[in-house]
Amino acid sequence: MRGSDQEGTASSADSHGWMDVSLAAVGIGPTARLRAAADTLIDPHVLLLAVRDGTGAVVDFRYADANDAAARHFDTTVDVLVGQSLRAHNPLQAQTGFVDRYVEVLATGEDLILDGYRYPLVDGTGRSRRFDIRARKVGDAVSLTWRDVTERAEESARFAALAMHAADIVLFSRDGVVEWVSPSITGVLGWTPDECVGRSGDFLIHPDDLDEMRGARAALYAGRSSRHRLRQLCKDGGVVWCEARGNPIVASDGSVEGVVVSIRDVSEQVEAEQEREAAEARYRLVAEHASDVVCVVDADGDIAWVSPSVEGVLGWDRDELVGSPVATLLAPEDQDTADHWRRTVLGEGRSPEAVEVRFRTKAGPSLWMSLRADTAVDDAGDVTAAVCALRLCQSEVVERRAAATLSAGNALLVEATDDAGLLGAMCETAVRHGGYLFAWYGHKGAAPGCAVEPVAGSDSHRAFLDGLELTWDDGPRGQQPVGRALRSGTTQIESDLAIGGADAPWSGRGVAHGFGSCVSLPVRVNGTVEGVFTVYAAEPGAFGPRVVDLLEDLVGSLGFGIGRLRDRHELEVAFTNSIDLIASVVESRDPYTAGHQARVAELSAAIGRQLGLDDRRIEGVTYAATIHDAGKVGVPIDLLSRPGRLAEEEMALIRRHPRIGWEITSRFEWPWPVAEVILQHHERMDGTGYPQGLRGDEILLEARIVAVADVFDAVSSRRPYRAALGSDRARAIVADGAGTLFDPSVVDAFLAVLDGGFAFSGPDRQV
């Protein structure tokens, strides 16, 4: 505030040249000014000094002082405002009668107090704002302060409208007596507002809930909010469950003037909760007597409750588990699965499909259990717990593992090409598809002493075999499942390695690797026991009768597959010998082309590999190329070896050799299109070849490969009618024919093979 004492005020008045007397002369001292300023420090404040005419009547007021808030209100500065005439500066004050009110304050000495006064704006819109206004006599001046309460008034009006039309009951009470209640009470409880106003609110409360209501009321008058669920009495004698939320009305001095209470009908919610509690009681009763294990896991992953059946299934007492993290019950191998399950259920609030995990028993071994879960949520929808059901599925899991091993193993038999590869893949299949820890195959050793020699094993736990010395005789080292299976020809089972023969080296080693049980199954090939297939599981008792039946089916197929592979190998040897015989017959009739078919076969195989063909297809193109000129046995020998150019009719005879070769080879059953390749190896991409004039993709890819290899070797080799033209000339002829005579992709592969340093394996030719 400016001018805080008499001297400062006189000086200020003199500087403006308008005041006839000092403030001190009219009884306004520093104490009065400081008091007025202190009372109105935050709100706008001005000091209006009376301006009197010659008769002493007040005709106007002038701004004697103002605070910064007042200057901001008038959008000016204190220095500009002080000294101005009230009528001139703010004509609206006279128009609204406020100048007369200030004169009355001076005359009577009574304060002017207006709350929520609607004061018009000067913007010409007719709008107004609401103010709390205070005016007090200070000597021959008026201390005036005001506060803009428009928002408060509007909020109050909105609240009044909301309370009047709200579905909830809104009630105002002072000292326990109802002063106002919204009309909605009639729709909820049947009472009219007039029947409630002036009465104690106790008459609305069920007698059994009066103590709780009085406790809530005490909290409200102590300045605290309250929230209670109470039974309200209806006019017709009925009862409605309601939720009452109360807040105190606190005066400026901190005292509680009354309370406002919002009352909502929650009968349906209470009924639903009661039904839920009854259902939970029923469910708990079922869970208490269920054979499955039921448990509640809280948001932290700890067991909050577990059914008594856990003792019969896993051996644990309920008190031992409550409060423990559920993760401590899980096998280490299943921790990742459990972590994902917990994030899904407790973190995301979703109920996933059942998962199979291993739970530790109190005795030590783990058992497979199916885990299902549903979420429990609070009123806010937040997940507070998971209700879990655990069903023992040990037998189903171990049988399914055996079935998966059998299925995958049978698939291997179809693709197997040799004994070693089949046995190694079978061991890996038992681990990968069957979920077992380790599998290996051993057979009777060739050396004296009845030793068991490991032939194949899965990669995991392979160190189990290092330094393991087993035999299949009656000696001490033969008294283990592998030796007994080889000796007896029957399946041998160790249900618990930790119990049965734990002192034996093989058994103790298995326990150290985490093996719980094992089975050794003899493998018969053509009726003779040649080896034994042994599988190890993590848990004891993994090899029951059904599992053993499935695995015995597998080793039965394994023995048959080994025999089939051996028979196939013998047939392939005979087949290869027959191919070589045909090639030898052809080359014996055409000495100039000796080695030609073998070189074409070698180069064709290299081109096929460059094109990315699989081994089986490369094998077929190799065999076809080896006898691609088989039809020359039907061509007169003198034509094959005659020097010089042949007549057209003689060339026609030579061009018959692809069809003659097809007629010979098509009589046999081949696993590849050998006869067709022989028939087509002189066909050309543009249709100028023979004997059928095929074009493009009408020609087998294998025939297109042989065509390139055949031309390259023929051009670069010596013939009866010319000298060898060399590799460079042959390469150029093939390259020039790409797209017209030869398949461009085959030519590209052929050139890549040559550029990669290809060389024929025989001693008589180098590229």
Q: How far apart are CA 155 and CA 753, in angstroms?
A: 90
- Summarize pLDDT for 267-324 with one digit per residue, the tens: 888 888 887 776 665 555 555 545 588 888 888 889 888 888 888 888 888 888 899 8
Q: Which two tokens stand for residue 68?
A: 């910064």
Q: How far apart are CA 536 and CA 396, in angstroms?
A: 18
**Do 659 and 630 meet the contact criterion of CB atoms below 8 Å apart?**
no
Q: Which two tokens stand for residue 676?
A: 């067709």
- Summarize pLDDT for 61-115 with one digit per residue, the tens: 999 998 888 888 889 999 999 999 999 998 888 888 999 999 999 999 999 999 8
Q: How far apart are CA 767 and CA 760, in angstroms?
A: 7
321: nearest Cα among 333, 312, 329: 329
Between 394-415 and 419-432, two packed helices, what is the crossing angle to 10 degrees?
150
Predicted local confidence at residue 684, as pLDDT? 95
pLDDT surpassing 70 at residue 575: no
Cβ neighbours, 10 Å, residue 673: 18
Domains and CATH numbers, the chain: 6-151 (3.30.450.20), 166-265 (3.30.450.20), 280-391 (3.30.450.20), 397-559 (3.30.450.40), 590-755 (1.10.3210.10)
Tell how many helices (H) and how many strands (E) occur in the chain.
Answer: 29, 20
**Backbone region of residue 122 per phi and psi (left: phi > 0; alpha: psi in -120 to 50; beta: other values):** alpha
The dihedral through the CA atoms of 416, 419, 424, 430 has a sign that is: positive
Token match 């202190």: residue?
38
Q: Tell me the Cα Rg of the chain.
A: 53
Predicted local confidence at residue 586, as pLDDT? 59
Taking CB atoms within 8 Å and a gap of at least 24, the contacts of 68-72 are: 69/42, 69/43, 69/44, 69/45, 70/44, 70/45, 70/46, 72/44
The pLDDT > 90 percentage for the chain reads 24
- Inter-CA distances, 584 with 186, 593, 642, Å: 115, 11, 20
pLDDT category at 492 given cuts 50, 70, 90 is very high
Q: Which two tokens stand for residue 417?
A: 């090409």
- Summarize pLDDT for 345-376 with one digit per residue, the tens: 888 888 778 888 888 888 777 888 888 888 88
Amino acid occupying residue 733: I
- Summarize pLDDT for 444-478 with one digit per residue, the tens: 876 656 888 888 999 988 888 887 888 888 777 77
Predicted structure pTM score: 0.41
Least confident of 27-36, 197-206, 658-667, 723-732: 27-36
- Summarize pLDDT for 734-762 with one digit per residue, the tens: 999 999 999 999 999 999 999 998 988 86
Token match 């590209």: residue?
748
**Do 543 and 517 meet the contact criterion of CB atoms below 8 Å apart?**
yes
Average pLDDT over residues 181-192: 87
Q: How far apart are CA 684 and CA 692, in angstroms?
A: 10
- Summarize pLDDT for 621-637 with one digit per residue, the tens: 998 888 887 777 666 66
Predicted local confidence at residue 414, as pLDDT? 64
Average pLDDT over residues 11-15: 39
